[in-house]
Amino acid sequence: MTEIQLLRAGHAPALLAFERENRAYFAASIPDRGDAYFAHFDDRHRALLAEQAAGTCYFHVVVDPEGDILGRVNLVDVEGGTADLGYRIAERATGAGLATASVRRICALAATRYGLTGLRARATLGNAASLAVLARTGFTPVDEIELNGRPGLRFVRDL
């Protein structure tokens, strides 16, 4: 059984391993983080924790029973009762409903723990898996957009 945990300093080594192991997989559907992300990972991790402490973002990891990180599910740009949802699941963990279950759990946490009333999300039209996850978890498409040079959709969900 997986667990969703709020990001903490101790997650850094496992999170870096997760990002390195899945870099090429993620880059096939979303923009690559770039070499600087990996070269300055510790600084970036500390910056994320500072944003989280300020209450402007909530970063989560999806952890398996052995402590390996299988995914990330984040709420960013928290303001006025809403936030942007973002997520990524390890290639080895896809196809088993983990993204859908994780997004559902974060939607519940967003409402109960963080007091949010709505979420926004975006996905490219070429990212069929993310489009399916958003549809299954109650998100409604509201606009066609361009996302990193690719056609996409913007979604919303009331909590």
Cα(136)–Cα(77) distance, rounded to whole angstroms?
23
Q: DSSP letter string over 100-158?
A: HHHHHHHHHHHHHTS---EEEEEEETT-HHHHHHHHHTT-EEEEEEEETTEEEEEEEEE
Please report, in tens digits, the pLDDT of each residue of the chain (159 residues total). Answer: 899 999 999 999 999 999 999 999 888 777 778 788 889 999 999 999 999 999 999 999 999 999 899 999 999 999 999 999 999 999 999 999 999 999 999 999 999 999 999 999 999 998 899 999 999 999 999 999 998 888 999 999 999
Closest by CA to 115, choosing from 68, 59, 58, is 58
At 27 the pLDDT is: 82
At 77 the pLDDT is: 97
CATH number of the domain enclosing 41 = 3.40.630.30
Cβ contact 88:26 at 8 Å: yes
- The domain tally of the chain equals 1
Cβ contact 89:22 at 8 Å: no
At 1 the pLDDT is: 86
At 147 the pLDDT is: 86
At 44 the pLDDT is: 94
Domain with 104 in it: 3-158
